[in-house]
């Protein structure tokens, strides 16, 4: 990769990692389901007036949006609202890689490699290790919800594989729009109009800035740069940079939010990230030795 593109890949990882800090800040003022509504409303409006819909059946766009956006981020926001810290959320969400592999085995009949099984075992042992811990920045409900977020992401990955080549930005914009109406209804039922109106009337400037960062930084800049890199280089060259996301997530959470970095968090991070590294780099190292 050219040096500017390496910098771009690291920048995306930094944006996506620090995005968890912005989510934490936003959730201090806005309830989680309605926060998800705001994210995808502004990700879609006014972009839909300038970007044509992807060349796909509307049902496929809506299904992709349901899992990739409503499910993935709805459960993630709920997990953090339920007490899971931003740093741990950024780490645990990465097990979506192995959930995708498991779903591919069940749904598509794919056979996992030795490296995928080994990596999954290590990564999920990291999740199990986190579940044994106690503290103010972790809850059992938060772990369950972030696993549901990872599962939604995994389903979306399979849908993306079935969709094939498509204008990614158009899929993001119109998929975002498709999630807004059902999420609004869900928010009104679960969170209620009174809570929503109170949250909007009392929202702080820092929360508005956090929402802008989530929408325009994470969604627009992050997805656009990542799509550009994937279009220019092999997937195997680009995807390893995603390993940096939880690194930026955990350290930015500590720096900005004051989250503590206890020894057990480093152990959990080592297990999950080593598992991911085995999955990403294992086949290539084996090929070099043969």
User: Please, is 134 exposed, middle or buried when counting C-beta atoms within 10 Å of its C-beta (0-12, 13-18, 19+)?
Assistant: exposed
pLDDT in tens, 237-274: 676 777 788 888 888 888 998 888 778 778 877 887 78
Residues 250, 104: Cα–Cα separation, whole Å: 29
Enumerate the domain spans of the chain.
3-289
pLDDT value of residue 135:
64
- The DSSP code for 233 is S
pLDDT value of residue 212:
95
pLDDT value of residue 235:
62
pLDDT in tens, the chain (290 residues): 777 888 888 898 899 989 999 999 999 999 999 999 999 999 899 889 988 988 888 898 899 889 988 998 999 999 999 988 888 888 888 888 778 878 888 887 878 777 778 877 877 787 777 777 666 667 888 889 999 998 998 888 788 777 777 777 888 889 999 999 999 999 999 999 999 999 999 999 999 999 999 998 988 888 778 777 876 776 656 767 777 888 888 888 889 988 887 787 788 778 877 877 787 677 666 666 65
Distance, C-alpha 85 to centroid of its chain: 14
Q: What is Dmax (Cα atoms) for the chain?
A: 64
């Amino acid at each position: 990769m050219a040096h500017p593109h390496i910098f771009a890949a690291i920048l995306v990882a930094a944006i996506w990692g620090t995005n968890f800090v912005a989510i934490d800040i936003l959730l201090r003022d806005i309830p989680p389901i309605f926060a998800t509504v705001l994210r995808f409303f502004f990700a879609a409006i006014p972009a839909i007036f300038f970007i044509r819909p992807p060349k796909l059946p509307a049902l496929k766009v809506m299904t992709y949006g349901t899992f990739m956006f409503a499910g993935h981020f709805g459960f993630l926001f709920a997990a953090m609202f339920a007490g899971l810290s931003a740093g741990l959320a950024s780490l645990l969400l990465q097990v979506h890689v192995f959930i995708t592999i498991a779903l591919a085995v069940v749904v598509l009949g794919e056979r996992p490699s030795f490296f995928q099984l080994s990596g999954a075992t290590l990564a999920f042992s990291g999740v199990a290790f986190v579940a044994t811990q106690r503290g103010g920045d972790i809850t059992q409900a938060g772990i369950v919800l972030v696993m549901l977020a990872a599962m939604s992401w995994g389903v979306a990955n399979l849908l993306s594989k079935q969709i094939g080549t498509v204008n990614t930005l158009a899929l993001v914009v119109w998929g975002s729009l498709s999630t807004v109406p059902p999420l609004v209804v869900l928010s009104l039922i679960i969170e209620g109009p009174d809570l929503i109106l109170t949250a909007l009337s009392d929202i702080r400037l820092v929360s508005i800035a956090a929402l802008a960062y989530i929408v325009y930084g994470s969604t627009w800049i992050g997805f656009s740069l990542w799509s550009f890199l994937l279009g220019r280089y092999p997937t195997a060259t680009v995807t390893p940079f995603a390993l940096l996301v939880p690194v930026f997530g955990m350290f930015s959470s500590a720096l900005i939010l004051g989250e503590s970095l206890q020894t057990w968090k480093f152990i959990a991070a080592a297990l999950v990230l080593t598992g991911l590294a085995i999955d990403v780099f294992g086949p290539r190292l084996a090929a070099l030795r043969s």
